[in-house]
Amino acid sequence: MKPVAAIVFKDIVIEMRSKESLSSTTMFGVLVLVIFNFAFEPSSLERALIAPGTLWVAISFAAILGLNRSLAMETDNDCLQGLLLAPLSRGDIYLGKVASNFTFMIIAELVILPVFVIFNNLKFNVQFLEIAAIAALATLAIASVGTILSTISANTRMKEVMLPVLQIPLTVPVVIAAVDATGRVLTGETAEISSWLYLLAGFSIVYLTVSYLVFEFAVEE
């Protein structure tokens, strides 16, 4: 647990000094929500149908931006080399980066979610907490697969362009689950919501395990 905490701490210190990544991802997420409100102008009846989609497009796009930044930070100045030289297993480095990416995405969502609630005239009640819980699970799923994919894409010639191409198809089940679960919370039909939560949890567990095992191949020179 100690190396994971050390990596998270390192990333938080860097972020507090540079203030680059978090502000841009949060701003980007909010902007996507704004654009969608122009694109659809949903009446209150359609709101429950469209709102979950806009939220998850905003979050998953903002996540891609943040993940790109997180790995670029390591590859600039060869910081990744230093990390690899540290007496840690490759898997621990992966878990540390997942934890730090997860933390930053959650902080960004602390802004994006309230803005989403206000834009859609929802209330800050139990519903909001339920959406926040879904968001936390889905964010873990996105961070688990996104961290290793951003490491892969950092090795290619087209770094920033490559990550969305790799990540969007793989996160389709996460987005489907999150959008449908959020929609069910908004419409109050919460009966089948647990199977979506199982899907999100299962996705995270499987990707954390597989990526933990194969991360060494993604960073090896």
In the bound state with other proteins, the residue whose beta carbon lies nearer, of 14 and 152, is: 152
At its nearest, how many Å lie between other proteins and the CB of residue 52?
14
- Alpha carbon distance 83, 88 (integer Å): 8
- Alpha carbon distance 110, 104 (integer Å): 10
Report the site for other proteins in 55-74 (rule: CB under 8 A): none
| Amino acid symbol at 7 | I
In 78-158, alpha helices (H):
79-85, 90-119, 126-154
- Alpha carbon distance 221, 37 (integer Å): 45
The reply on whether position 191 binds other proteins by CB under 8 A is no
Report the site for other proteins in 80-139 (rule: CB under 8 A): none
The reply on whether position 157 binds other proteins by CB under 8 A is yes
Site for other proteins (CB under 8 A): how many residues? 33
Using CB under 8 A, which of 1, 45, 85, 158 touches other proteins? 158
How many other C-beta atoms are found inside a 10 Å radius of the C-beta of residue 82? 10
In the bound state with other proteins, the residue whose beta carbon lies nearer, of 6 and 170, is: 170
Q: Which residues contact 215 (CB under 8 A, 6 or more apart)?
A: 90, 91, 93, 94, 148, 151
The reply on whether position 36 binds other proteins by CB under 8 A is no
Planar angle of CA 49, 107, 127, nearest 5 degrees: 35
The reply on whether position 173 binds other proteins by CB under 8 A is yes
The reply on whether position 217 binds other proteins by CB under 8 A is yes
How many other C-beta atoms are found inside a 10 Å radius of the C-beta of residue 217? 11
Q: List contacts with other proteins (CB under 8 A).
A: 145, 148-149, 152-153, 155-158, 162, 165-166, 169-170, 172-173, 176-177, 180, 192, 195-196, 199, 202-203, 206-207, 210-211, 214, 217-218, 220
